[in-house]
């Protein structure tokens, strides 16, 4: 009996040792998962670069290739580089993507069970970079060192393929950390409001504290999360043709479905002579996008841009109805029988109510076109209220 107890103690000690070793291995650079059979169910926390690995994270160097037994790694590590980063913790180092593009095979691959996942991204040092996965954009134009954002994505083929890619020509496309957790075993996005537009709509970073804001960035504050998630695909300087042909519309077409909304606001940059887009051309490009999105089952909603802070007449009335190809957008909504949010007129009514001085305070200093965070919040409020009026959003 004594001999049997000694054997059992030895077996327990060996088992504990193996579990401890596996746990330590799972937190070390280039390690495989402690329990490969559980891949895709446990949360993943990746720390990229060749510096020290933060506790609770899997370290990934640029040279770490994907292998089936490890369940993660770079598809073409020869196109990656370890680089420094100016942050702390996981933000203290990063990897740089030397080849990029939404269709590039130079991806970081993670084996995942089919399901819906939340992916949280922390960049390294970069001026502007976007995140792509599954061959389409997921997050647009993250700016500033160690910028953070998150998105949900359905995985149906057993693997997530992600990379950091173009936000601005010549920028460094870097990745410091990645966190992945399963939201649902069903690989389907819930009801989503997709937002397309320009710099008056886009996200600015850090998302929670940026001085400048876009109304698409602030819209989630006016939408019940139980009703819709908001995905803002807008980018600064964008024109209708660029949004359609540059890959942003592709994201909505890939994931859009019945019950979704697609809010599309263009015109400010299209009217700039350097972009060589006539009002007739603008209208037909917008029509094409409306029809492509409608074919997915989602509901396109056309939105007009607000005017400049200085669009007041001598009587103190704000009006900008002749700006930004507004008339073409209004006509298109009527022709295609799609909902229309005339933010141009709604914003003017609000600006007239509060007056020129208070209106100017809602824009960036020395800038009469781009709203600051407070101004973007007011515009988002107006958009949401009109969507509620049209019963496209449930009342909060």
Pick the catalytic residue from 45, 130, 370, 386. 370
Query: CA 106 to CA 304: how far, in whole Å?
Result: 38
Which residues touch 74 (CB under 8 Å, ≥6 apart)? 60, 62, 64, 65, 66, 80, 106, 107, 108, 109
pLDDT band at 396 (very low <50, low <70, confident <90, very high): confident
Rounded Cα distance, 219 and 353, in Å: 22
Has 199 been annotated as catalytic?
A: yes
Residue 140 scores a pLDDT above 50: yes
For residues 93 and 159, the answer to whether their CB atoms sit within 8 Å is no
Q: What is the pLDDT of residue 227?
A: 97
Please indicate whether residue 38 or residue 300 has the higher confidence score (pLDDT): 300
Task: Exactly one of 199, 260, 342, 348 is catalytic; name it.
Answer: 199
CATH for the 37-183 domain, from 3.40.50.620, 2.60.120.430, 3.40.50.150, 3.90.180.10: 2.60.120.430
* DSSP bridge partners of 192: 229
| 311 noted as active-site residue | no
Per-residue model confidence as pLDDT tens digits over 264-274: 999 999 999 99
- Whole-Å CA distances, 342 to 30, 176, 214, 215, 328: 53, 41, 17, 14, 12
Residue where the block lists tokens 């009026």: 389
Catalytic residue among 157, 221, 245, 367: 367
CB 145 within 8 A of CB 172: no
Q: Residue range 324-328: average pLDDT?
A: 98
Give me the phi and psi of 89, to 5 degrees please: 60, -130
On the question of pLDDT at 58 being above 50, the answer is yes
Q: Is 367 helix (H, G, I), strand (E, B) or coil?
A: coil
Looking at domain 192-389, which CATH architecture does it have?
3-Layer(aba) Sandwich (3.40)
The percent of residues in the chain predicted with pLDDT above 70, rounded, is 90
pLDDT tens for 1-26 read: 444 444 344 444 333 333 333 333 34
Under 8 Å between Cβ of 39 and 71 = yes
pLDDT at 41 (0 to 100): 63
d(Cα 153, Cα 136) in Å, to the nearest integer? Answer: 11
Give 30's pLDDT tier (boundaries 50, 70, 90): very low
How far is Cα 118 from Cα 175, in angstroms, rounded to an integer? 17
Q: Give domain limits for the chain.
A: 37-183, 192-389
Q: What is the mean pLDDT of the chain?
A: 92
367 is catalytic: yes
């Amino acid at each position: 009996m004594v001999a049997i107890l000694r054997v059992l103690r030895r077996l327990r000690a060996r088992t504990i040792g193996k579990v401890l070793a596996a746990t330590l291995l799972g937190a070390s650079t280039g390690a495989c998962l402690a329990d490969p059979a559980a891949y895709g169910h446990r949360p993943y926390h990746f720390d990229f670069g060749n510096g020290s690995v933060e506790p609770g994270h899997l370290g990934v160097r640029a040279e770490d290739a994907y292998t089936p037994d490890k369940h993660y790694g770079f598809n073409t590590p020869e196109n990656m580089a370890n680089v420094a980063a100016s942050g702390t913790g996981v933000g203290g180092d990063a990897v740089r993507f030397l080849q990029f593009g939404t269709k590039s095979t130079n991806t970081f691959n993670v084996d995942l069970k089919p399901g819906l996942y939340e992916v949280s991204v922390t960049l390294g040092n970069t001026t502007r970079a976007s995140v792509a996965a599954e061959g389409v954009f997921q997050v647009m134009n993250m700016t500033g060192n160690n910028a953070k954002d998150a998105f949900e994505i359905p995985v149906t083929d057993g693997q997530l393929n992600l990379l950091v890619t173009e936000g601005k020509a010549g920028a460094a496309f870097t990745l410091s950390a990645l966190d992945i957790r399963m939201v649902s075993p069903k690989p389907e996005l819930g009801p989503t409001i997709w937002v397309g537009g320009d710099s008056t709509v886009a996200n600015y970073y850090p998302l929670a504290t940026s001085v400048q804001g876009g109304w698409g960035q602030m819209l989630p504050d006016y939408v019940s999360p139980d009703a819709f998630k908001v995905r803002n695909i807008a980018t600064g300087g964008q024109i209708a043709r660029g949004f359609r042909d540059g890959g942003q519309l592709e994201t909505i077409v890939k994931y859009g479905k019945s019950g979704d909304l697609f809010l599309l606001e263009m015109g400010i940059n299209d009217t700039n002579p350097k972009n060589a887009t006539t009002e007739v051309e603008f209208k037909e490009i917008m029509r094409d996008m409306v029809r492509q999105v409608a074919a997915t089952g989602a509901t396109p909603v056309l939105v007009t841009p607000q005017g400049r802070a200085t669009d007041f007449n001598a009587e103190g009335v704000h009006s900008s109805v002749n700006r930004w190809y507004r008339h073409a957008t209004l006509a298109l909504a009527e022709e295609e029988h799609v909902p229309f949010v005339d933010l141009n007129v709604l914003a003017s009514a609000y600006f007239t109510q509060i007056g020129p001085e208070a209106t100017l305070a809602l824009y960036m200093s020395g800038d009469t076109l781009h709203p600051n965070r407070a101004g973007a919040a007011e515009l988002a409020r107006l958009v949401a209220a009109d969507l509620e009026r049209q019963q496209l959003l449930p009342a909060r």
